[in-house]
Chain A
Amino acid sequence: MSRYLRPAARLAATARASAIRPAAPSPFLARGSAVPSIQKRSYADASGVKEYTVRDALNEALAEELESNPKVFVMGEEVAQYNGAYKVTKGLLDRFGEKRIVDTPITEMGFTGLAVGAALSGLHPVCEFMTFNFAMQAIDQIVNSAAKTLYMSGGIQPCNITFRGPNGFASGVAAQHSQDYSAWYGSVPGLKVVSPWSAEDAKGLLKAAIRDPNPVVVLENELLYGQSFPMSEAAQKDDFVVPIGKAKIERAGKDLTIVTLSRCVGQSLVAAENLKKKYGVEVEVLNLRSVKPIDVEAIVKSVKKTHRLMVVESGFPAFGVGSEILALTMEYAFDYLDAPAQRVTGADVPTPYAAKLEEMSFPNEPLIEQYAAKLLRL
Chain B
Amino acid sequence: MKRTRIDRVPPALLRRAAARQSSPVQSTPLLSRPAVCSVRGHTAQQRRCASSISQRPDSKHVMFPGAVKSAFANSMTFEQPSTYPALPTYRAVDQNGVVVDPSFVPDLADEEVVKLYRDMLTVSIMDVIMFDAQRQGRLSFYMVSAGEEAVSVGTASALKKEDVVFCQYREQGVFRQRGFTLADFMNQLFANKKDPGKGRNMPVHYGSRELNIHTISSPLATQLPQASGAAYALKVQRMQDPTISPRVVAAYFGEGAASEGDFHAALNMAATRSCPVIFICRNNGYAISTPTLEQYRGDGIASRGLGYGIETIRVDGNDFWAVREVMKKAREVALQDGGKPVLIEAMTYRISHHSTSDDSFAYRAKVEVEDWKRRDNPIARLRKWMEAKGCWDESKEKEARESIRREVLKAFSEAEREKKPPIRTMFEDVYEELTPDLRQQMDELKSQLERYPEEYDLGDFEGGRDSLDK
Chain A interfacial positions (CB closer than 8 Å to B): 77-78, 81-82, 85, 103-110, 133-134, 136-137, 172-177, 349-350, 352-355, 357
- In terms of DSSP, what is the predominant structure of the interface of chain A? loop
* Nearest neighbor of A85 in chain B, beta-carbon distance: B288
The distance in angstroms between the C-alpha atoms of A317 and B98, with both chains bound, is 63
The distance in angstroms between the C-alpha atoms of A106 and B219, with both chains bound, is 11
| B218 touches A (CB below 8 Å) | yes
Counting residue pairs across A and B whose Cβ atoms lie within 8 Å, the total is 80
Taking CB atoms, residues of chain A closer than 8 Å to B259 are 105-107, 110
Taking CB atoms, residues of chain B closer than 8 Å to A106 are 220, 256-257, 259-260, 287, 290, 295
Q: Most A CB atoms within 10 A — which of B141, B260, B363?
A: B260
Pair A353/B261 contact, Cβ less than 8 Å: no
Q: Which residues in window 191-234 of B have CB below 8 A to A?
A: 191, 199-202, 205, 217-220
Pair A82/B426 contact, Cβ less than 8 Å: no
Pair A176/B140 contact, Cβ less than 8 Å: no
| B6 touches A (CB below 8 Å) | no
Identify which of B140, B219, B288, B289 contacts A137 (C-beta below 8 A). B219
* Nearest neighbor of A350 in chain B, beta-carbon distance: B430
Taking CB atoms, residues of chain B closer than 8 Å to A107 are 259-261
| B9 touches A (CB below 8 Å) | no
Taking CB atoms, residues of chain A closer than 8 Å to B287 are 105-106
Q: A106-B256, A354-B191 are in contact. Are A174 and B363 (CB under 8 A)?
A: no
Q: A82-B363, A103-B290, A353-B199 are in contact. Are A172 and B140 (CB under 8 A)?
A: yes
Q: A172-B202, A174-B200 are in contact. Are A105 and B290 (CB under 8 A)?
A: yes
Taking CB atoms, residues of chain B closer than 8 Å to A134 are 219-220
Identify which of B218, B261, B289 contacts A174 (C-beta below 8 A). B218
* Nearest neighbor of A81 in chain B, beta-carbon distance: B363
* A15: min CB distance to chain B, Å: 22
Known contacts A106-B259, A176-B217; 11 further A-B pairs (Cβ under 8 A): A77-B288, A78-B290, A85-B288, A106-B256, A109-B261, A137-B260, A174-B201, A174-B205, A350-B430, A353-B202, A357-B426
Taking CB atoms, residues of chain B closer than 8 Å to A354 are 191, 199-200, 420
Taking CB atoms, residues of chain A closer than 8 Å to B199 are 353-354
The distance in angstroms between the C-alpha atoms of A77 and B363, with both chains bound, is 14
Taking CB atoms, residues of chain B closer than 8 Å to A352 are 200, 426
The distance in angstroms between the C-alpha atoms of A349 and B426, with both chains bound, is 9
Q: Most B CB atoms within 10 A — which of A85, A173, A350, A354?
A: A354
Chain A to chain B: the 6 pairs with minimum beta-carbon distance, closest first: A105-B259, A172-B140, A82-B289, A176-B218, A107-B259, A106-B256
The distance in angstroms between the C-alpha atoms of A137 and B218, with both chains bound, is 13
Total number of B residues with any Cβ neighbor in A under 8 Å? 30
Taking CB atoms, residues of chain A closer than 8 Å to B295 are 105-106
| B308 touches A (CB below 8 Å) | no
The distance in angstroms between the C-alpha atoms of A82 and B202, with both chains bound, is 24
Q: Which residues in window 430-455 of B have CB below 8 A to A?
A: 430
Taking CB atoms, residues of chain A closer than 8 Å to B262 are 137
Taking CB atoms, residues of chain B closer than 8 Å to A177 are 202, 218
Q: What are 11 inter-chain pairs, A to B, with CB distance below 8 A?
A: A77-B288, A77-B290, A78-B288, A82-B362, A85-B288, A105-B290, A106-B295, A110-B259, A137-B262, A173-B141, A174-B200
Taking CB atoms, residues of chain A closer than 8 Å to B290 are 77-78, 81, 103, 105-106
| B294 touches A (CB below 8 Å) | yes
* B179: min CB distance to chain A, Å: 25
Chain B interfacial positions (CB closer than 8 Å to A): 140-141, 191, 199-202, 205, 217-220, 256-257, 259-262, 287-290, 294-296, 362-363, 420, 426, 430
Q: A105-B290, A350-B430 are in contact. Are A137 and B200 (CB under 8 A)?
A: no
Identify which of B200, B219, B289 contacts A78 (C-beta below 8 A). B289
The distance in angstroms between the C-alpha atoms of A145 and B348, with both chains bound, is 39
* A359: min CB distance to chain B, Å: 13
Pair A110/B261 contact, Cβ less than 8 Å: yes
The distance in angstroms between the C-alpha atoms of A299 and B190, with both chains bound, is 46
* A213: min CB distance to chain B, Å: 29
Taking CB atoms, residues of chain A closer than 8 Å to B191 are 353-354
* A165: min CB distance to chain B, Å: 15
Pair B430/A108 contact, Cβ less than 8 Å: no
Q: Most A CB atoms within 10 A — which of B261, B362, B363?
A: B261
Taking CB atoms, residues of chain B closer than 8 Å to A176 are 217-219
Q: Most B CB atoms within 10 A — which of A105, A133, A176, A354?
A: A105
The distance in angstroms between the C-alpha atoms of A238 and B362, with both chains bound, is 31
Taking CB atoms, residues of chain B closer than 8 Å to A105 are 256, 259, 287, 290, 294-296
Pair B289/A353 contact, Cβ less than 8 Å: no
Pair A174/B202 contact, Cβ less than 8 Å: yes
* Nearest neighbor of B199 in chain A, beta-carbon distance: A354
* A98: min CB distance to chain B, Å: 10
Taking CB atoms, residues of chain A closer than 8 Å to B256 are 105-106
* B130: min CB distance to chain A, Å: 15
The distance in angstroms between the C-alpha atoms of A81 and B217, with both chains bound, is 27
* Nearest neighbor of A172 in chain B, beta-carbon distance: B140
The distance in angstroms between the C-alpha atoms of A77 and B289, with both chains bound, is 9
Identify which of B141, B220, B288, B363 contacts A172 (C-beta below 8 A). B141
* B442: min CB distance to chain A, Å: 12
Taking CB atoms, residues of chain B closer than 8 Å to A353 are 191, 199-202
The distance in angstroms between the C-alpha atoms of A101 and B261, with both chains bound, is 23
Taking CB atoms, residues of chain B closer than 8 Å to A103 are 290, 294
* A183: min CB distance to chain B, Å: 19
Taking CB atoms, residues of chain A closer than 8 Å to B205 are 174
The distance in angstroms between the C-alpha atoms of A78 and B289, with both chains bound, is 7
Taking CB atoms, residues of chain A closer than 8 Å to B261 are 107, 109-110, 137
The distance in angstroms between the C-alpha atoms of A350 and B430, with both chains bound, is 7
The distance in angstroms between the C-alpha atoms of A259 and B1, with both chains bound, is 50
The distance in angstroms between the C-alpha atoms of A354 and B294, with both chains bound, is 36
The distance in angstroms between the C-alpha atoms of A270 and B174, with both chains bound, is 49
* B384: min CB distance to chain A, Å: 35
The distance in angstroms between the C-alpha atoms of A275 and B134, with both chains bound, is 39
The distance in angstroms between the C-alpha atoms of A108 and B256, with both chains bound, is 12
The distance in angstroms between the C-alpha atoms of A354 and B461, with both chains bound, is 12
Taking CB atoms, residues of chain B closer than 8 Å to A174 are 200-202, 205, 218
The distance in angstroms between the C-alpha atoms of A85 and B362, with both chains bound, is 12
Taking CB atoms, residues of chain A closer than 8 Å to B363 are 81-82
The distance in angstroms between the C-alpha atoms of A110 and B430, with both chains bound, is 32
